[in-house]
Amino acid sequence: MQPPVLSIVVPCYNEQEVLDFCLNELSLRIEDMIYKGKIDKGSHIVFIDDGSKDKTWRLIEIASSEKDLVKGIKLSRNKGHQTALMAGLSVCTDSDITVSIDADLQDDSSVIEQMVDAYSAGYDIVYGVRNDRTSDTFFKKFTAESFYKLMTLLGVNQVSNHADFRLLSKRALNSLLQYKEQNLYIRGLIPLIGYPSDKVFYSRSERVAGESKYPLRKMLSLALEGITSFSVTPLRIVSALGFMISILSSIGVLYTLIQYFLGHTVSGWASVILAVLFIGGVQMLCLGVIGEYVGKIYMESKKRPKFFIEDDTLKN
Ligand code: UDP
Ligand code: MG
C-alpha cells in the first residue's frame, strides 16, 4: 500500500525567533518517517502566517524557496490561532493526513510518528494529550484544569488536556471543513465529527523561544468561545435563577401586603434600596448572558468569509 501523504500544519503569529528551530525539527521528523516508509515523499509542512508583524512571512518565503517540503500561506491580517489553523487545514484537503502543531514546539513533535502509526492502524482522529503540565505555571495549570471541569459540567464534550495538537484523516478533515461557523473552537468540534479516534500521550515542554501569543485576554476569550459556542447551560441557569427570584419576590409581595393590611407600617428605605439593587443586578447579569448568545446569532447570520489568503507558496 502507498504510504500516506502527510501535511504538518503550523499556525505562526510573530514567531521569527522559533521558526528556524521549528522548521528543522519538523523537517527531520518528516525525513525520518519518509525514510522508514511510513509516509509518502510528497509529505510537507504548511506554515500559516497569521498576519505577523515581524519577519515570520519573510522567513517562510525563504525556507519555502530553499526546501521543497516547506509551503506557506499568509493571511491578510491577524485572525487568531483557531482561524489560522482552519485556514491551514483548508489548503491541505489533497493530503491523506494532517497534523496540526504550534510553532513553538511545546508539543512533542516526536509523537507525530505514533500518530501516523495510529492512523495506519485505522484511526481517523488522533488526539495529542498532555500527561504532565510541569512546564506550565501554577496559574495556567489551575485555570486550564478548572476550565476543563467547568466544560464537562456544562455538558461540552471534549478531550481534556488536549489542545490543538492532533492528526486528522482526509475524511475527518473534510467533515471538519463542513462546519461553517464563524466562532471557532476547533477542539469542541472534533468530537462532534465522530469516526474512530485514539490518543497519544506526551509531556509538554517550555516554549523554545519568544513569548506566549496567548495572553490572559485571549485565553479568556477562547474559554468563553468554547462555552457559549457549545453549551446552552448558562441560559438554562439564568432561566432557573429568574424562576427562583420571581417565586421569592411573590412571597415578598404577599408578606408586604399582609403587613400593610394589618396596619404595620414597613419602614426603612435601606431594605427597599437593597432589593432594587439586587433585582437590578440579577437582571443585568441575565441580560449579559442573553446578549452573549444574541451576539453570536448576529455574527453567524452574517456568514462573513473567515479569511482571505493574501499570498502563498503552495506551488513551489
Ligand atoms: N497563534 C496564531 N495567532 C494568534 C496567536 C497565536 O497563529 O493570534 C499561534 C502561535 O504562533 C502558536 C500557537 O498559535 O503557534 C499557540 O500560541 P502560543 O504558543 O503562544 O500559546 P500558548 O502555548 O502560550 O498557550
Ligand atoms: Mg505555546
**So what's the pLDDT on residue 262?**
81
Rounded distance from Cα 272 to ligand 1 centre (Å): 50
Take residue 245 and report the three cell numbers written for it: 427570584
DSSP 8-state code for residue 7: E
Terminal-to-terminal C-alpha distance of the chain: 27
Give the number of the atom of ligand 1 that is nearest the alpha carbon of residue 13: 11
Give the ligand with the smallest distance to the CA of 49. Answer: 1
Question: Across the chain, where does the E strand assignment appear?
Answer: 6-12, 44-49, 70-75, 97-100, 125-132, 162-169, 197-203, 309-312
Domains and CATH numbers, the chain: 6-230+304-312 (3.90.550.10)
Give the number of the atom of ligand 1 that is nearest the alpha carbon of residue 84: 7
Which residues fall inside 5 Å of ion ligand 2, going by CB? 102, 104, 106
Q: Which residues of the chain are under the pLDDT cut of 70?
A: 265-271, 273-274, 277, 280-281, 304-305, 308
Give the number of the atom of ligand 1 that is nearest the alpha carbon of residue 101: 15
User: 3-state DSSP call for residue 108?
Assistant: coil
pTM over 0.85: no
Rounded distance from Cα 149 to ligand 1 centre (Å): 23
**Tens-place pLDDT, residues 296-308:** 787 787 776 677 6
7 CB-contact burial (10 Å; exposed 0-12 / middle 13-18 / buried 19+): buried
Give the ligand with the smallest distance to the CA of 19. Answer: 1
**Tens-place pLDDT, residues 151-164:** 888 878 888 889 89
**So what's the pLDDT on residue 232?**
72
Distance separating alpha carbons of residues 198 and 158, to the nearest angstrom: 13
Rounded distance from Cα 77 to ligand 1 centre (Å): 15
Which of the listed residues 9, 10, 13 should we mutate to test ligand 1's pocket, taking the one with most ligand atoms within 8 A of CB? 13
Rounded distance from Cα 128 to ligand 2 centre (Å): 14
> Average per-residue pLDDT in the chain?
86
